[in-house]
Amino acid sequence: MDVEFQHISKRFGSVQALSDVSLTAKQGTIHGLIGENGAGKSTLMKILTGYQAKSGGDILINGEKIALKTPDDAAQIGIGMLYQEPMDFPHLTVLENFSLGCPVLSRERFAASLKHLAFAFGFQLAPKRRVELLTVGERQQIELLRLIHCETSVLILDEPTTGISPAQKALLFPALKKLATEGMTILLVSHKLEEVASLCDEVTVLRHGNVTHHTYAPFRFPELLEAMFGAVPEQKEKPVARATGNAVLTMNNIQAGGERQGLELKNFSAKSGEIIGLAGLDGAGQATFLRLAAGLTIPEQGDMQLFSTKLPTSKKASRIAGKLQTVFLPADRLEEALFTDISLSEHFSLRDPKSSFWQKTETNRQRAAEAIKTFSIKGQYDDTADNLSGGNQQRLLLALLDPQSKLILLENPTRGLDIRSGQWVWEYLTQTLSPEACIIFSSPELDEILHYSDRILVFYDGDIVLNSLTAETDHGSVAAAMTGMRS
Amino acid sequence: MLRIERPVCSGYATEAQTIMIGDIPLSVLVASVLAASVPLIIIALGEMITEKSGVINLSLDGAVLFSAMVAFVVAKESDSLIVGFLAGGCAGMVTGLIVGYFSIYLHLSQVAVGFALSLLCRDLAYFLGNPYSRVQGPTLISSKLPFHDMLPDFLQKITTQPLTVPFALGLIVLLVWFFKSSRAGLQVRSVGENPAAAFARGLNPNRIQMLTVLAGSFLVGIGGAAYSLSLKPGWGRPQGAEGIGWIALALVIFGSWQPSRVALGALLFAFLQVSGIGLQSLFPTIPSQVFQTAPFPLMIFTLIIMHYSTSKTRKHGEKDSGLHKWLGILFMSRAPKSLGKSYRQE
């Protein structure tokens, strides 16, 4: 079946996730859909499965306009999706997962069909095993077999290789190629260019909800990278690199859980005065790295030293890190850093290092009022934190931050901020705070990282794949490392 | 504690040996445990069905009293036990409808709605049932099996039971089959596990949850009716079914959301309650209150054991062998994964 998207648009509240997206996937081909995080790939696919409603545009199957209100409508036509996070039932068995949502069959028939299909694709699945005990790759295999069993003719794969082993990947790819030659239409959503290159016949690139590129195999990577991440920006005036001093943070043979792949790194050290940018696609390990350094995530193996003090592997770690003047500003400010229903002055009260039974209301009001002035926060001292805009929340956090901090960990420091607020934040970090402080930050904006950091670490699937001085690398090679291409 | 007594004075019954527990013969004990557990089994299974779909109906305790009252009043007015039981079931279903609608469609907190409704139902039951307090009404009497006379004395005593007993036993079998083998049962479980995934596979989670809640609360109502029409006939304040709803909620956890284990828990609880009477005469020095209240702390104690064995077993996975494995099988508790969370379609 040919699938045609015509001028699809989708709004979430005030956010335009997709605008005027048109593309055609032809029967018997594998059509790649690439783009960075938040480009709108998954949203477009969820619209095709009827999981989410579109705001505008049409979907045509074999030239006929169709309405997709629920996943059931899509399944009737033969559209099935393999979701990025396994959409299954962990407590149920393999066979039960396999037989849910398919045409009515007896249990024996399901069992026979599962066995037959698993054999044909070389998957090893024990029907009675509970799915929660399986790996992500195996759970995906069940889903894939189920979709084939349900006579799916349009198969959508959303990042099918996240969290699966290379061996499982080696089984999956030939299976997909075989399905395409048998007449299936396959849509592959990915941000890993190598995979796309080895599988796809055609590629469409999305960026900020728009189609920026469409091309056929063989692909030219620089062209695709540019369409994904935007044109290489003109060189802006770069801040002068700062003087570096002693080691602030050292990590040795660390292994930690978290995000999709956890995090594994041999050795790493950051010096005082350094500004280090962490690049990588969402969930590649940057968030875990920052939380490790803040003592919020406890490593399973390896050791860490903060200012030559060994960080304990217990819940005490974060308190000790705090005492050593390490601060962490998370991306989700309201969830992890501020208190929704507590006022600005009360936030200062909470941070007060001296312990006393009473709150010093007046003093803290004054402090808050001062901070409002110096940090130009748009709000009053008795406003609650959730009444502030994203930019003002970040200003408040910076105001709460101890100016003597020696290690500052920032997760996406300019998230939700307009350009001017973002510049203000960086000015404050680099100019007002002590130049001896070490700043480590992650950001989804490659330009921000290239512009502000002295050193860049690139994360990919839980590993650091690039560790280089900013001066010695460029836009292209960082983007390539982010998408998993070996340089 | 167990002793075998040979009745001395009965000349012809020398063969008959009666096992006694305290002052109660074993056959009487078994019969009364069965009878006492019936409403509890039905109520706990009703709640279990509801929770399997991911909805907690916390109005259980009030719903039991309310349906007991409705069942008694309707049975008395219509002079029909069947109509009484059905009315009880419908009364239960009304509470399910309220909890279901508020939590599934309006996304309000299941706990808050259920708890408030529980108190409301209890007071409503006392208020509306007041004119029927301490009034004689129809009662479901024990009936004999058709081949009653062919059975030995021991079995005769056990099998002479009201019809609610075979109903409860049949219900256990039916539910084991339903969740294990039927397609609908699998769909209910899938919704309780992961409604978003169920939706992605073309099911309608909200409708499935609502239907399940209605079916489960209908059973709860039947269980309530089994109190006022059979086990503790009549209506009054207190009725005698107070607190049973909370026990049923605990039994569902104890039973790990499996019909057979939930029923086993109900039997165990009834055994503790009934044998309390027998044990009291064996240990006259212990105050009687101890035996009356013992089942409740025991219940809490079991839940604690279950908590620990569950977390242990989780950690070790299925590779475990020996004691751990058996503890796991006996005490492992696995709640439906999205229990208590309301599902909002994207």
pLDDT at B314 over 60: no
Please state, in angstroms and as integers, the Cα–Cα distance from residue A250 to each residue in A267, A296, A307, A468, following that order. 7, 16, 8, 16
Tens digits of residue pLDDT in B234-263: 998 888 888 889 989 989 988 889 999 999
Written as six digits, the tokens of A248 are 């602030």
Q: Are B202 and A99 in contact (CB < 8 Å)?
A: no
A89 shares contact with chain B (CB less than 8 Å): yes
Which residues on B lie below 8 Å from A78 (Cβ)? Answer: none
Q: Among B177, B178, B201, B339, which would you mutate to test the A interface (most chain A Cβ atoms within 10 Å of its Cβ)? A: B201
Q: Per the omega criterion (within 30 degrees of 0), is the bond before B39 cis?
A: no
Q: How far apart are CA A173 and CA A186, in angstroms?
A: 12
Mean confidence (pLDDT) of chain A? 86
Segment A426-440 mean pLDDT: 88
Q: Are B201 and A100 in contact (CB < 8 Å)?
A: yes
pLDDT at B38 over 90: yes
Which residues on B lie below 8 Å from A71 (Cβ)? Answer: 199-202
Decide which of B71 and A71 is more confident.
Answer: B71
Tens digits of residue pLDDT in A216-241: 988 888 888 888 877 765 556 666 77
| Band of pLDDT at residue B12, cut at 50, 70 and 90 | very low
Which residues on A lie below 8 Å from B336 (Cβ)? Answer: 91
Q: Are B199 and A88 in contact (CB < 8 Å)?
A: no
Check which CATH number belongs to the domain holding B288 and give it: 1.10.3470
Give the pLDDT confidence score for residue A124 in this predicted structure: 87
Mean confidence (pLDDT) of chain B? 85
Residue B148 lies inside a defined structural domain of this protein: yes
Q: Are B202 and A101 in contact (CB < 8 Å)?
A: yes
Residue B6 lies inside a defined structural domain of this protein: no
Please state, in angstroms and as integers, the Cα–Cα distance from residue A60 to each residue in A6, A27, A72, A74, B8, following that order. 8, 13, 17, 12, 92
Residue B79 lies inside a defined structural domain of this protein: yes
Residue B12 lies inside a defined structural domain of this protein: no
Which residues on A lie below 8 Å from B179 (Cβ)? Answer: none
Residue B156 lies inside a defined structural domain of this protein: yes
What ipTM did this prediction achieve? 0.79
Give the pLDDT confidence score for residue A22 in this predicted structure: 93
Tens digits of residue pLDDT in A255-299: 888 766 788 888 888 999 899 999 988 778 888 999 999 988 888
Give the pLDDT confidence score for residue B313 in this predicted structure: 55
Decide which of B174 and A139 is more confident.
Answer: B174
Tens digits of residue pLDDT in A138-175: 888 899 999 988 888 999 998 887 767 777 888 889 98
Q: Are A75 and B202 in contact (CB < 8 Å)?
A: yes
Tens digits of residue pLDDT in B195-249: 999 998 888 999 999 999 999 999 999 999 999 999 989 998 888 888 889 989 9
Q: Are B203 and A75 in contact (CB < 8 Å)?
A: no
Give the pLDDT confidence score for residue A239 in this predicted structure: 67
Give the pLDDT confidence score for residue B143 in this predicted structure: 86
Written as six digits, the tokens of B281 are 């005469």
How many structural domains is chain B composed of?
A: 1
Q: How far apart are CA A82 and CA A85, in angstroms?
A: 9
Residue B240 lies inside a defined structural domain of this protein: yes
Per residue, the 3-state secondary structure of A241-307, as one string, reads CCCCCCEEEEEEEEEECCCCCCEEEEEEEEECCCEEEEEECCCCCHHHHHHHHCCCCCCCEEEEEEC
| Band of pLDDT at residue B1, cut at 50, 70 and 90 | very low
Q: How far is B205 from chain A (nearest CA, A)?
A: 12
Residue B3 lies inside a defined structural domain of this protein: no
Residue B346 lies inside a defined structural domain of this protein: no
pLDDT at B14 over 80: no
Domain holding B307, by residue range, is 18-331
